[in-house]
Amino acid sequence: MGPAGSSAGQGLEDREERLMEDQTELQDRLLSELEEAGEENLPTLANTIFAEEMTVDQQRAGIRSALAGLINADLVRVAFEDATGRELREISKELSERVIEQLDDHLVLRSDGTWTGGPRPWPEVVTTEKGKARARVILETRGYQWWRQ
């Protein structure tokens, strides 16, 4: 038998590996959903990417982590509608990260278990050119909404 605590250390490594796999899975789901239009509001994305049973906290943490990773990798940004509601204005990487850090202000659970937004305008998630290219590869490899099949 190995040194004391080695099984605990292995358990932690296994959990960290599963978390990384889950984050990558959610990132792939987000990008695939954004591929066609290149943009979608945060509540709609949240309602689309989860198929398995998860708690509200797990869903919030999952989408927060996945979006933070995509923003950091320059695959997506956050945008908001302009005053006319006709055009999206993309915000910087730093501001996008701040919006995602404040996810609870922008993602509200309805009594029927679906997500809606907080006060309008709702954050829109938009793909960068790099994100669009990655989304096409994901769809070619995995197909449309593979997590629901």
Write the pLDDT tens digit of every residue in 36-57: 889 999 999 999 998 778 889 9
Residue 11: per-residue pLDDT = 58
Which tokens go with 142? 């995995």
CA distance 36 to 1: 53
Per-residue pLDDT at 10: 63
The amino acid that residue 90 corresponds to is E
The Cα–Cα gap between 67 and 95 comes to 13
Please state the pTM of the whole predicted model.
0.84
State residue 102's pLDDT score.
95
Residue 8 has what pLDDT? Answer: 56
pLDDT value, residue 13: 59
Which tokens is 18 given?
């599963």
* Contact in structure between 71 and 96 (CB atoms under 8 Å): yes
Residue spans of the chain under pLDDT 70: 1-21
**Under a CB-based contact definition with an 8 Å cutoff, are residues 59 and 128 in contact?**
no
